[in-house]
Homo-oligomer: A and B are copies of this chain.
Amino acid sequence: MATAWSRHYAQRINAVRSSVIRDLLKLTQRPEVISFAGGLPAPELFPIDRFEEACHTVLQHNGAAALQYGPTEGYLPLRELIVSNMRRYGIVADVANVLITCGSQQALDLIGKLLIDPGDRVLVEAPTYLGALQAFNVYGARYVSLPVDHDGIRTDGLHEALRSSPKFMYILPNFQNPAGVTLSEERREKLVLLADARGIPIVEDDPYGQLRYEGEHRTALVVLDRVQRRTDLRYMSGNVIYLSTFSKLLAPGLRLGWVVAPQEVIARLVQLKQGADLHTSTFIQMVAYEVARDGFLDQHVKRIRAVYGERRDTMLAALQGCFPDEATWTRPEGGLFLWVTLPPATNCEELFQAALRQNVAFVPGGPFYCGEPDGCHLRLNFSNSTPEQIHEGIRRLGIVVKEQLKRPALSAV
């Protein structure tokens, strides 16, 4: 290289490492690999014909507006549709509380930009969504974490964790990525109460909440927060910023997510989004609206639930049949992932390589921790493989795991 560009980079950027998972995923893309590694929706469920109809309608009736610059806040009818969609889950907001983003990932970036000064701590789950860590790291975030169990983030250590005065808490309450666990009602209330009492905002990331395959919907933190505050239900004024996305409900290739927040927060996020990309594609927003409208989104989500629910059941049964007794795993009530725990001495990296030699892939759990991982974990995605692939893939993986457990662990030598 003629120029040593690295000397020009901002200090915090030179500290940011490349994503391990990104590099891993490249290895898993050979067609012969059965991959439980990505977090991809099933492409065979994409409503392609409905999209084509929508493109036709938008371009013929509204082409000039669809291809022109648009408002930073987003396309009004789409924001209205989101408002009415969320109302069914008890989240009562006004369009003025909704901002359209380029996927939830952009919401995480804008929130990091808005709230994080270098050195600020963020309270996260261990493990947590890797993409959030990537978004926050850039702004110089440090972390304090609390472990996750089958009922979500453990709140018994919360008082202690809050002593480090985190700037905000980042929580995935439903079918968490990567662990697939759901926060219990009791813990939700405790979390919201304490956050409120201590004046520490909660960022509630809920990409999968509508993809529930069993059990009852749990109350969103943003709703609990409002009930506890007894604020006007028609007006968001709480302590929670809520995020969701069309990526898992319609298609991730749209890059469409949304933020629900108090108006003053939305106003600031709009300002930051304007500097970040002016606005999200007008055309894509109009097309998504045309696809989702007239009840189509709900029907489509029902269809996804049926297919993914079956795939989850298939994977749980296959794990039961093929994995050794030393392995445990979560039983997600929804979402895209489950989380396998192996004995702490297992070498997860070796396991990944051995699995890949058998043409089956997963994501090792390490990168999902802001600090040291607690042992060896596998994140398994069940949405993007057919039941047949799941059977065969888990069978192969079971053999690899059993072999790995027989070998003397390097860390135990």
Name A22's closest neighbour in chain B (CB-CB): B274
Residue in A40, A48, A72 whose Cβ sees the most chain B Cβ within 10 Å: A48
User: B253, A1: Cβ atoms under 8 Å?
Assistant: no
Quick check: is A44 within 8 A (CB to CB) of the other chain? yes
Asked if B13 and A113 sit within 8 Å, CB to CB, the answer is yes
Chain A contact residue count (CB 8 A cutoff): 87
* Binary per-residue interface labels of chain A (242-275) against chain B in the complex, 1 for a CB within 8 Å, 0 otherwise: 0000000011111100000010110010011011
Q: How far is the CA of A101 from the CA of B284 in the complex (A)?
A: 15
Which of B59, B106, B274 interacts with A52 by CB under 8 Å? B59
CB pair B66–A5 under 8 Å, yes or no, is: no
Interface centre among A41, A52, A239 (most CB of B within 10 A): A52
**Residue in B1, B68, B255 whose beta carbon sits within 8 Å of that of A281 in the complex:** B255
Pick from B12, B52, B238: contact of A2, CB below 8 A: B238
CB-CB < 8 A to A281: which residues of B?
102, 253-255, 281, 284
Is A161 located at the chain interface by the 8 A CB criterion? no
A115: chain B residues within 8 A (beta carbon): 8-10
Q: Is the CB of B43 within 8 A of A103?
A: no
Residues in B with CB closer than 8 Å to A174 are: none
* Contact digits for A2-24, partner B, Cβ 8 Å, 1 yes 0 no: 11011011111100101100100
Taken residue by residue from 264 to 301, chain A's Cβ proximity to chain B (1 for < 8 Å, 0 otherwise) reads as 11001001101111111111100000000000000000
The CA-CA distance from A394 to B249 in the complex, in Å, is 50
**How many copies are assembled?**
2
Residues 109-130 of A, flagged 1 when their CB comes within 8 A of B and 0 if not, give: 1000111110010000000000
Contact of A60 with B by CB under 8 A: yes
Do the beta carbons of A282 and B268 come within 8 Å of each other? no
The listed residue (B1, B41, B109, B138) touching A237 by CB distance below 8 A is: B1
CB of A376 within 8 Å of the partner chain: no
B10-A139 in contact (CB<8A):
yes
* A268 contacts B109, C-beta separation under 8 Å: no
Cβ of A67 within 8 Å of any chain B Cβ, yes or no, is: yes
- Contact (Cβ within 8 A) B262 A278: no
Q: State whether B10 touches A277 (Cβ < 8 A).
A: no
Residues of B within 8 A of A134 (CB): 274-275
Bound-state CA distance A380–B328 (Å) is 67
Whether A369 sits at the interface, judged by CB under 8 Å, is: no
Additional pairs, 8, CB under 8 Å, beyond known A8-B167, A67-B253: A2-B229, A11-B117, A46-B64, A52-B55, A55-B59, A66-B253, A102-B102, A135-B275
